[in-house]
Structure 1
Amino acid sequence: MTYTNKTTGDEVARDCQEHIVNKTILVTGATPGGLGATFATTIAQFGPALIILASYSVDKAGQTAKAIADVAPTVKTKVIELDLASIRQVRQAVKAILALDSVIDVIVNNAGVMAAPYGTTKDGIELQFGTNHVGHFLMTNLLLEAQLAKAPSRPVRVVNVSSDGFRYGPVRFEDTSFDDGATYNRWASYGQSKSANMLYSRSLAQKLGSRGVVSVSLHPGVIFTTNLSRHVATEDFAELGDLNHKMGYKSLWGVPLAAKSAAEGVATHVFGAFHPILDNVEHNGAFLSDSKVLDNKLIQSWARDLIEAEKLWGLSEGLVSQKFPF
């Protein structure tokens, strides 16, 4: 089937049904009104064994679990508290996930913040970089380390939800905090974190592809109705037009943002998590958009370069004070 920007998650899930059934899926940021919840309720109708809902709000994730029960009463769910802005709590969340004694087939790192005012995580890391990348880096690596030891032959797919906003900024290796906010730009910060999501997928593919890990990143599209936009009024997106001019993205000048519904927005989530075409080794580490693999020539080098990816890996290990054996 040929997918477009109007394809829905349900349509992709129907095509991937045999790859969803009996799978255990972990999704972060699965609170009502977000793409994580929409993704979870969409795939629930196709027979997964267990959906683990990891969220900063147990109560809100519980509402998503109830919504899943309404559409798929036989599908098991488990809610885990996860605060990506706290290294200590991420480690606690991983212990709780491992205590479920379930082998995870798919990890969807969906949670995030967008264009937030300057702030820091509980560990003093710039908020968008810390939440969108560092927290997911630590959680995912800890889970992969444990699972590769427990079930080394079991394939795992890792989906990092990025954005085409990666074009607004590379990882600032010498100053991820924007001089403690003195030079902060919310879109450059968002771009940094989304570039990091993409580089992290490239690293996982490079380091663990031979051990059965498939990792991709993706742009879900522009969805105005999700919680992600809570810091941004619709009119604030006009700033992006100015940025496109300043940064020389002439092909985007005067082009209005093409908004998607939440159902359309999760199509690429479902494609990334389950579509068998991504098992091709050539696609490991790929960036997806509109349920397709995007040509690398269309991606700025700072979001796909393996040298940049390795630098980010080392930086991230330093921030979480742990080196990983892969």
Structure 2
Amino acid sequence: MTTTYTAKTTGEAVARDSQTRIAGRTVLVTGTSPGGLGAAFATTIAPFGPTHIILASHNVVKAEHVAKDIAAVAPAVKTSVVKLDLSSQAQVREAAAEILKISTHIDILVNNAAVMATSYGTTVDGIEQQFGTNHIGHFLLTNLLLPKLLEARTQGGVPAKEPLRVVNVASNGFRFGWVRYEDINFGDGTTYEGWFAYGQSKSANMLFSRSLAEKLGNRGVVSVSLHPGVVITTNLSRSLAMEDISEMGVLDRKLGNRSYWDNVANLKSTAEGVATHVFAAFDASLDAPEVNGSYLEDSHVEDVGNVKSWARDSVDAEKLWKLSEGLVSQNFDY
């Protein structure tokens, strides 16, 4: 029987339902400062018996606090903290190497870290900050890890019992922007709009999941993307003022997104916001091949008709893959 979840379902409730799939697993999550959804995800699943949680964060001191929180609720769970700066490709490569030293057996990778609607800026590699951090950093990290992770799962010629999950935390903000394949940097900032750039990066997260599903589904990889909801108490959302929310409403009117005109944000608690993370990482229903690559909201697979074509099209997914390979100067052929 399939459990029906709602926008008010908590992460703990989903984890309780999936506890047999959490137990014994090794999980890597990015963006794990206290007060964020990555940290909430890690502390929510910890009591249900994962073997090892790897916390990858740009601030290792803050991530160590999360490791202590995990130890307080689940002292048997091993934790590791890794420095990860997604805005630097050189540092992402260092982080990937460090992660593979810690463990080549990772069952769940949750690409959670993000920046949102920032002023114009670029990464150290010259890429618009939101696209470079939210997508390119995770694209590089994931692809640097995958060959070793896939190899470890078939050692001895016996495939792992359950698929390797790659979860990309996107947003329904994908509605604000498609990937500008010929101008990802918004004319070096001259045509920049923060919410459009955020939309571009979130559409990219969704297309990346689509690509992974199409390229590696037959090798035991399940990849999905998700919208956690608007959680105003997280580090990412806390800086949002009412005028920012109003601005989203104005943009939705300009773009014709009528369903958001009078209902821009249904606010969630952190416990409710992290539920879809847990569902995406562990729910058994997502092992079905026909839902691989899907986009999730409120702990269910969203109707594809509610997803803008630019965030789900296979042609766009392949275009983004090639663009991303060019930006990291490395090809990943599967």
User: What range describes the TM-score normalised by the shorter chain of this pair?
Assistant: over 0.9
Equivalent residue letter for 1:16: S
Aligned to 1:213: 221
Give the conservation status (yes or no) of the 8 Å contact 1:116–1:128. yes
Taking the aligned partners of 2:266 and 2:142, their CA distance within structure 1 comes to: 32
Aligned to 1:50: 52
Q: Determine whether 1:194 maps to 2:196.
A: no
User: Do the aligned partners of residues 230 and 8 (structure 1) sit closer, same or farther apart at CA in structure 2, a change above 3 Å counting?
Assistant: closer
Aligned to 2:12: 10
Give the conservation status (yes or no) of the 8 Å contact 1:24–1:49. yes
Deviation at 1:247, TM superposition (A): 0.4
Taking the aligned partners of 2:264 and 2:236, their CA distance within structure 1 comes to: 20
Structure 2 gaps, min length 5:
none
Taking the aligned partners of 1:256 and 1:193, their CA distance within structure 2 comes to: 19
Give the conservation status (yes or no) of the 8 Å contact 1:120–1:126. yes
Equivalent residue letter for 1:39: F
Q: Determine whether 1:75 maps to 2:77.
A: yes
Aligned to 1:233: 241
User: Aligned runs of 1:26-41 on 2, under 5 Å?
Assistant: 26-41=28-43
Taking the aligned partners of 1:130 and 1:101, their CA distance within structure 2 comes to: 26
Taking the aligned partners of 1:188 and 1:298, their CA distance within structure 2 comes to: 19
Aligned to 1:309: 317
Taking the aligned partners of 2:240 and 2:330, their CA distance within structure 1 comes to: 34
Farther-moved stretch of structure 1 (150-159 vs 27-36): 150-159
Give the conservation status (yes or no) of the 8 Å contact 1:224–1:234. no
Taking the aligned partners of 1:88 and 1:59, their CA distance within structure 2 comes to: 21
Equivalent residue letter for 2:49: G
Aligned to 1:261: 269
User: Do the aligned partners of residues 310 and 69 (structure 1) sit closer, same or farther apart at CA in structure 2, a change above 3 Å counting?
Assistant: same
Taking the aligned partners of 1:240 and 1:101, their CA distance within structure 2 comes to: 41
SS of 2:102 mapped into structure 1: coil
Q: Determine whether 1:84 maps to 2:86.
A: yes
Taking the aligned partners of 1:317 and 1:187, their CA distance within structure 2 comes to: 25
Give the conservation status (yes or no) of the 8 Å contact 1:222–1:259. yes
User: Which residue among 118, 136, 139 is the counterpart of 1:137?
Assistant: 139
Taking the aligned partners of 1:216 and 1:324, their CA distance within structure 2 comes to: 19
Aligned to 1:171: 179
User: Do the aligned partners of residues 102 and 149 (structure 1) sit closer, same or farther apart at CA in structure 2, a change above 3 Å counting?
Assistant: closer
Give the conservation status (yes or no) of the 8 Å contact 2:174–2:200. yes
Give the conservation status (yes or no) of the 8 Å contact 2:232–2:238. no
Deviation at 1:232, TM superposition (A): 2.9
Deviation string 1:67-98 (CA, Å, 9 cap, x unpaired) is: 00011111110000000000000000000000
SS of 1:48 mapped into structure 2: coil
SS of 2:120 mapped into structure 1: coil
Number of residue pairs matched? 326
Deviation at 1:227, TM superposition (A): 0.9
Taking the aligned partners of 2:267 and 2:239, their CA distance within structure 1 comes to: 17
Taking the aligned partners of 1:107 and 1:28, their CA distance within structure 2 comes to: 8
Q: Determine whether 1:325 maps to 2:333.
A: yes
Deviation string 1:171-212 (CA, Å, 9 cap, x unpaired) is: 000000000100000000000000000000000000000000
Taking the aligned partners of 1:61 and 1:187, their CA distance within structure 2 comes to: 28
Aligned to 1:61: 63
User: Which residue among 107, 120, 134 is the counterpart of 1:118?
Assistant: 120
| TM score, norm. by length of structure 2 | 0.96
Q: RMSD in angstroms over aligned alpha carbons? A: 0.9
Taking the aligned partners of 1:54 and 1:149, their CA distance within structure 2 comes to: 22
Give the conservation status (yes or no) of the 8 Å contact 2:26–2:108. yes
Q: Percent identity over the alignment?
A: 63
Aligned to 1:156: 164
Equivalent residue letter for 2:192: Y
